[in-house]
Amino acid sequence: ALKRLPGYLQASDAKLIVVDSFIAPYEQEYPKYIDSPVAQKEFYVKLGLLKRLAAAFNCVVLITNHVITNPEPSHMFQPILIAGGHAFAHTTDLRLYFKKLKGNMRRMKIEHCSWLPSEYEDFYITNRGIYEEEVYPEQLLQKKVKSQDDESQRTPMMEIIKEIAEMEVGTKPSKKKK
């Protein structure tokens, strides 16, 4: 599918490439040897191609992946590892870690980013959208009346998320002085 991707990008004006579960096909091809040099080389080649396509076509590449528990005795220092090893860890520019909490509550943490601090934000996923606090149907009607730019409801992490969403592809957010 990656071989056909440049043709699709030329034919369309796509600005987002989503690769869901990048490592899953390799787990069948390289069972128990996902960190082998052969697998790592293949990851570098395919991830490098995705980065070049993103630069050439001015688009964003979003890759989902899973994490695994570190089986090593020193796991207390790094309890979770990225599936795909060093190739996956060092090729990505921004890594977000999502964790399910209770009910509809989720936590998103900036795990690796050269231009953002390692912070986290809790949010709720509902059938009406994503909210910073748990919202019930009757509260949704009240929220429509309030301005979405209400400064009392803004957090630094949500500002960072908004800035990332609005920035142009290939640029880094400006560092604001406090």
Write the pLDDT tens digit of every residue in 37-51: 888 888 889 999 999
pTM tops 0.75, yes or no: no
Would you give the end-to-end CA distance of the chain in angstroms?
46
- In whole angstroms, give the CA distance from residue 42 to residue 35: 11
What pLDDT shows up at residue 82? 74
Residues in the chain predicted with pLDDT less than 50, given as ranges, are 145, 147, 149, 152, 176-178
Say if 170 falls within a structural domain.
no
SS3 sequence, the chain?
CCCCHHHHHHHCCCCEEEECCCCHHHHHHCCCCCCCHHHHHHHHHHHHHHHHHHHHHCCEEEECCCEEECCCCCCCCCCEEECCHHHHHHHCCEEEEEEECCCCEEEEEEEEECCCCCCEEEEEEECCEEECCCCCHHHHHHHHHCCCCCHHHCCHHHHHHHHHHHCCCCCCCCCCCC
108 and 150 both lie in a single domain = yes
- Domain tally, the chain: 2
Query: Which of 42, 74, 92 is the last residue before a domain boundary?
Result: 92
What pLDDT shows up at residue 74? 60
What pLDDT shows up at residue 157? 65
What pLDDT shows up at residue 59? 92
Q: Which domain holds residue 84?
A: 1-92
Say if 82 falls within a structural domain.
yes
20 and 83 both lie in a single domain = yes
Query: Which of 51, 72, 92 is the last residue before a domain boundary?
Result: 92
Asked if residues 65 and 21 have their Cβ atoms less than 8 Å apart, the reply is: yes
Query: Which of 92, 116, 139 is the last residue before a domain boundary?
Result: 92
